[in-house]
């Protein structure tokens, strides 16, 4: 009889061997970021950490922040995100943090505001495989902590419903109008995936997304920002990672 072995059957010991990690080096936190700007963001993020090294699988990095162990990956889109959250979920990492940018769906949002999704609708093509068919939720205790820290940096924060869609290249104006009218704050390609996969492994998860695309005014990331908007975007992108590290300190 044919016996198939799937990726779901790979053990923690096997993952550790493939990554080149010891059990003692398992990250306390895994941070994933979805962006086209891989080199820029990687340089930004790894500059904070000590003893940085790329692990046995490409584009997965490990480093230390004070006395905490941090995993990081530029994971663009749901198919890559699920791999990273699944892998570290198997290993028993204590917290998953999604960062990145998003499209703003409400007119009161401005470039550089930070969205803290409490619930993310699972239209990413992946999350429903982990049991969250319609929507996946953040850990609200961690959301509360993130909100406090972001506001201490003088950021405008919005909490509420969020949409995770499968691709920028399949979003339509009709969809965005419907999401806007439903009161959904924002849209990205990874958050629901992170929430659902992390929940499957009993790992709390949050997402901190910086508003870039001003969708209610027809503006995408291709449109130039004002000088003020660029400063706000860069500052928020910097601070969401600093807040992620501050959250790691509390574990």
pLDDT category, 133, cuts 50, 70, 90?
Answer: confident
Euclidean distance between CA atoms 32 and 98, whole angstroms? 5
Query: Where do the structural domains in the chain lie, given as residue ranges?
Result: 11-17+24-249
Per-residue pLDDT, 24: 98
Report pLDDT digits (tens) over 201-234: 999 999 999 999 999 999 998 899 999 999 999 9
* Residue 99 pLDDT > 80: yes
Per-residue pLDDT, 5: 86
Report pLDDT digits (tens) over 100-115: 999 999 999 999 999 9
Strand partners, 213: 103
pLDDT category, 68, cuts 50, 70, 90?
Answer: very high
Report pLDDT digits (tens) over 135-184: 999 999 999 999 999 999 999 999 999 999 999 999 999 999 999 999 99
- Give the largest CA-CA distance in the chain: 65
Euclidean distance between CA atoms 225 and 214, whole angstroms? 10
Euclidean distance between CA atoms 99 and 107, whole angstroms? 22
Report CA dihedral (42, 45, 51, 57) to the nearest 10 degrees: -40
Measure the N-to-C terminal CA separation of the chain; round to a whole number of Å. Answer: 47
**Exposed, middle or buried by CB within 10 Å (0-12, 13-18, 19+), for 134?**
exposed
| CATH, range 11-17+24-249 | 3.40.50.1580
Cβ(84)–Cβ(60) below 8 Å: yes
Euclidean distance between CA atoms 109 and 232, whole angstroms? 12
CA nearest to 112, candidates 120, 121, 122, 101: 101
Report pLDDT digits (tens) over 19-56: 999 999 999 999 999 999 999 999 999 999 999 999 99
Spatial neighbors of 103 by CB under 8 A, at least 6 apart, are 171, 176, 186, 187, 188, 211, 212, 213, 215, 220
pTM flag (> 0.95) = yes
């Amino acid at each position: 009889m044919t016996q198939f072995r799937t990726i779901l059957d790979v053990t923690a010991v096997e993952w550790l061997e493939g990554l080149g990690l010891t059990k003692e080096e398992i990250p306390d936190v895994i941070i994933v970021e979805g962006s086209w700007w891989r080199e820029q963001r990687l340089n930004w993020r790894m500059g904070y950490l000590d003893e940085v090294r790329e692990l046995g699988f490409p584009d997965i990095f490990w480093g230390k922040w004070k006395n905490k162990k941090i995993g990081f990956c530029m994971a663009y889109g749901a198919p890559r995100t699920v791999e990273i959250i699944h892998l570290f979920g198997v290993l028993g990492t204590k917290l998953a943090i999604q960062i990145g940018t998003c499209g703003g769906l409400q007119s009161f949002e401005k470039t550089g505001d930070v969205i803290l999704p409490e619930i993310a609708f699972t239209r990413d093509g992946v999350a429903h495989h982990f049991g969250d068919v319609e929507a996946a939720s953040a850990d609200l205790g961690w959301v509360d902590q993130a909100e406090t820290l972001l506001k201490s940096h003088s950021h405008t924060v919005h909490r509420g419903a969020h949409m995770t869609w499968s691709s920028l290249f399949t979003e339509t104006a009709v969809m965005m109008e419907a999401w806007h009218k439903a009161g959904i704050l924002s849209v990205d390609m990874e958050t629901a995936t992170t929430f659902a996969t992390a929940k499957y492994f009993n790992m709390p998860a949050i997402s901190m997304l910086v508003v870039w695309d001003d969708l209610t005014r027809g503006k995408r990331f291709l449109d130039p920002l004002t000088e003020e908007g660029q400063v706000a975007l860069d500052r928020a992108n910097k601070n969401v990672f600093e807040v992620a590290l501050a959250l790691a300190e509390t574990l």
